[in-house]
Structure 1
Amino acid sequence: MSGRPQSRPTIYDVARVAGVSPATVSRTFARPRMVSAETAERIRDVALELGYRANPVRRTAPVVRHDVIAVVVADISNPYYGMVTRGVQDVAVRSDQTLQLMDTLESGQRERRALERTRAADGFLLTSPLGSDEAILMTAKSRPVVLINRVIPGLPSVIIDNVGGSRLAVDHLIDLGHREILYVAGPEDSWVGGVRWRTVLDRATERGTTAHRVGHFRATIDGGLGAAPAVLDHPHAGVVTHNDMMAIGLIRGIRLAGGRVPDTMCVVGFDNIAAGAAVAPPLTSVAAPLREMGATAARLLLDLIEGRADGSEQVVLPSTLVVRESTMRHED
């Protein structure tokens, strides 16, 4: 007989099995930047094993079908969202669904208004949402919701292996000779940003070096450009940015200040968008199967709409490091 609770597991069950406090479990899902990557991973594993679902979603009213999927993105100008949306479209076309695309411009307030005002959609795909767990769970009580690049217990989600990808980036920079790792942070409310920063910090410590964070900045080319002065205050650091768009802007900012990448410093991005391979120098980046993310999330959402799923599945897709010319060996 296992020690698994017979009734619906609670936050206290997860805390007991993981050997942490209930508050730490809560922070893991709501504010992961406040929990070490190792602890957060252990808590998520325990939650999955126990079948823990915070605030289980019960929809309050029957839904009239519109054959419309609402896709909410944070910044349509970022090619990352274009690739994810293309994957959603692949599934939608085969399923005779129409897409409704909403751009929140990296604004939690715009995101909230979009969710409140959208009526003619059967469900939501929320890509890197900035809203609180409570607000998103409230939306899920009226219509199915699937998260991309975010985890909330009780809701289905599709993410990449952010921990593994962040560790690859840090290991690569340390192996090139860097003795300081600098993380250039995106939006303060970004769930994935919190996971990546904590992993960068933990992995750098494990490897016997230091890590620092600068920011927060917008997750755009202009955001990366604006980060350049703060980054250049750490001339010997190897740099990991929140995403490729920020890395592209940062490389330009370093060049405008008279430096060169990778001679002045090495830069690693996240997402492996096509533009990263086209900049000078071509960008080393943590790659994810973005189109597959979108397609997987769309299939999960359609399963929810059709009543074929219970709405708690979490899919983690692999990440890899694509090494290009923005990183090179640095000697002390």
Structure 2
Amino acid sequence: MGVESITEVAVPQAPPRKPVTIYDIAAAAGVAPSTVSRALSRPGRVSTETAARIHEAAEVLGYKRARPRRPADSTEDTYVIALVIADVGNPFFSRVMIGMQESARANGYTVLLIDSREDAAQERAAIDKVLHLIDGIVLSASRMSNSAIQQFNRAVPVVSLNRQVPGVTSILPDSAQGMHAVVEHLAAHGHTAVTYLSGPPDSWADGARWEGLTQACHALGVRAQRLGPFSPTVGGGVHALETWGHRPTTAVVGYNDVLAIGFMKAALARGLRVPADVSIIGIDNAGLSALTNPGLTSLAAGSRRLGARAATAIIGHLRHRSRPQPAVTVVGMSLQERQSVGPAPAAPACLPEAT
């Protein structure tokens, strides 16, 4: 039986298919390439009939569109500004959004809200996805690195709230002045020691608040200790009570109102009296601070005013189409006194055992 021989035949490979371009789509749809570009990147800029014809041609040709990027020197405005916040559930950011939206709307701009959930990677990825749709960015308590923020500032104007970034226009609450008012208020009630419940470790504002508190305590002869970090939530405040119980002081200042409210809620549930056993102060003067029982004394950062100032700053950059020397604006803070602060007891209270 003979052995069957097999002859291999080389099959010529088809040349790689060239990618479909907007010029191919324009020829197929019978329109100008610029019309194709508008239809694919800016919905609503061409008629419905023309857009449908263009999208049909693109689908038939197998067009794969890369995410569009606006040239750095483009003069075509979208009249959209991105507001990036750390947590949409925090009332402070809600008021920033209201203030910014009111000012932006009055000037013909729309605000696109991005919630980063306190995550720098999510924040950067979200901005990157919408960069081609926006004219500018307002970052409120950004968790990104300075270099990442500066990189976005080279693409579109950026304004930073609650954080100073080199080379970027920044609007900051005056933490030094505000914390001095806090410590002065506590000292006037006889408190000689205060605990600061710190917030997210990546928060620039947290560091500024602690620095302002320690400076004020040194000037006024009050002892300060820092505990945390804690999540800036009610749950974070509940957890903070247990930590504070190991080294109690007669006064507590929370990183924000929500954290302070969680601490107060847990303290009352464990049988402590506010302010007879412990005085509590929050920061931001969010809407919730006036609704607690007792009412929460809070350091007001003027969140709505900060949002309006940010909108004014970013729109000023856009209208003048300039890259002015970055400015740092410091906004004063005010202490809103309520019932959660009272005379210091003779000694710090002991935290009762949980039942």
Aligned residue for 2:266, secondary structure, equals helix
CA contact (8 A) 2:250 2:345 kept: no
- Structure-2 residue corresponding to 1:276: 289
- Structure-2 residue corresponding to 1:160: 173
CA contact (8 A) 2:250 2:277 kept: no
- Structure-1 residue corresponding to 2:182: 169
- Structure-2 residue corresponding to 1:33: none
Structure 1 Cα separation of the partners of residues 147 and 98 of structure 2? 29
- Structure-1 residue corresponding to 2:253: 240
- Structure-2 residue corresponding to 1:107: 119
Task: Tell me: higher relative CO, structure 1 or 2? Use CA pairs within 8 A at least 6 residues apart.
Answer: 1
Q: Give the letter for the 2:235 counterpart.
A: D
- Structure-2 residue corresponding to 1:68: 80
Structure 2 Cα separation of the partners of residues 330 and 191 of structure 1? 31
Q: Give the letter for the 1:236 counterpart.
A: T
Q: Give the letter for the 2:91 counterpart.
A: P
Instruction: Give, in angstroms, the shift of residue 208 of structure 1.
Output: 2.1
Structure 2 Cα separation of the partners of residues 275 and 159 of structure 1? 23
1:263-310 CA deviation, whole Å, 9 max, x = no partner? Answer: 221001111111101001100011122211111110110111222561
- Structure-2 residue corresponding to 1:91: 103
Instruction: Give, in angstroms, the shift of residue 201 of structure 1.
Output: 1.6
- Structure-1 residue corresponding to 2:237: 224
- Name which of 295, 301, 321 aligns with 2:335: 321
CA contact (8 A) 2:276 2:345 kept: no
- Asked if 1:298 is matched to 2:298, the reply is no
RMSD between superposed Cα atoms in Å: 1.6
- Structure-2 residue corresponding to 1:143: 156
Structure 1 Cα separation of the partners of residues 273 and 86 of structure 2? 30
CA contact (8 A) 2:241 2:266 kept: yes
1:68-100 CA deviation, whole Å, 9 max, x = no partner? Answer: 110000111111111111111111111111111
Larger Rg: 2
Structure 2 Cα separation of the partners of residues 120 and 160 of structure 1? 30
Structure 2 Cα separation of the partners of residues 134 and 60 of structure 1? 21
For these two proteins, the number of residue pairs brought into alignment is 274
- Asked if 1:330 is matched to 2:341, the reply is no
- Structure-2 residue corresponding to 1:259: 272
**Is there any run of 5+ residues in structure 2 with no aligned partner, and where?**
1-69, 347-355
1:212-244 CA deviation, whole Å, 9 max, x = no partner? Answer: 100001112221122111122333331111111
**Is there any run of 5+ residues in structure 1 with no aligned partner, and where?**
1-58
Q: Give the letter for the 1:330 counterpart.
A: A
Structure 2 Cα separation of the partners of residues 321 and 286 of structure 1? 4
Identity level (%) = 33
Q: Give the letter for the 2:184 counterpart.
A: D
Instruction: Give, in angstroms, the shift of residue 256 of structure 1.
Output: 2.2
CA contact (8 A) 2:83 2:138 kept: yes
- Asked if 1:125 is matched to 2:138, the reply is yes
Aligned residue for 2:155, secondary structure, equals coil
1:180-210 CA deviation, whole Å, 9 max, x = no partner? Answer: 1110000001111101101212221222231
Q: Give the letter for the 1:200 counterpart.
A: L
- Structure-1 residue corresponding to 2:54: none
Q: Give the letter for the 1:95 counterpart.
A: N
- Name which of 227, 234, 240 aligns with 1:214: 227
Structure 1 Cα separation of the partners of residues 260 and 293 of structure 2? 12
CA contact (8 A) 1:303 1:309 kept: no
Structure 2 Cα separation of the partners of residues 141 and 309 of structure 1? 9
Q: Give the letter for the 2:335 counterpart.
A: L
CA contact (8 A) 1:235 1:264 kept: no
Structure 2 Cα separation of the partners of residues 150 and 140 of structure 1? 15
TM-score by length of 1: 0.79
Structure 2 Cα separation of the partners of residues 255 and 234 of structure 1? 18
